[in-house]
């Protein structure tokens, strides 16, 4: 998802997206732990997407305060 698309969403929508990404990160870790073949670039993609969403949530809360 592009950063501009994320900026258009509300904070509650971003928080639900963040929860889904946390779940995906957990599932990737569990897949690797059970010996399944996991593509390493997925970890990087999910981690960076989480950081983007957290940054946007922080910016929106600072702008509203």
Number of structural domains in the chain: 1
Confidence of residue 2 (pLDDT cuts 50, 70, 90): confident
pTM of the model: 0.89
CATH of the domain at 11: 1.10.287.310
The encoded tokens of residue 56 equal 């946007």
Q: What is the pLDDT of residue 63?
A: 86
pLDDT one-digit tens code per residue, 15-55: 999 999 999 999 999 999 998 888 989 999 999 999 999 99
Q: What is the 3-state secondary structure (H, E, C) of 18-32?
A: HHHHHHHHHHHHHHH
> What is the domain range of residue 14?
3-64
Q: Are 47 and 25 in contact (CB under 8 A)?
A: yes
């Amino acid at each position: 998802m592009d950063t501009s698309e994320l900026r258009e969403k509300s904070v509650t929508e971003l928080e639900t997206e963040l929860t889904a990404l946390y779940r995906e990160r957990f599932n990737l870790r569990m897949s690797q732990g059970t010996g399944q073949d996991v593509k390493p670039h997925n970890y990087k993609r999910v981690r960076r997407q989480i950081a983007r969403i957290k940054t946007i949530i922080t910016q929106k809360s600072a702008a509203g305060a």
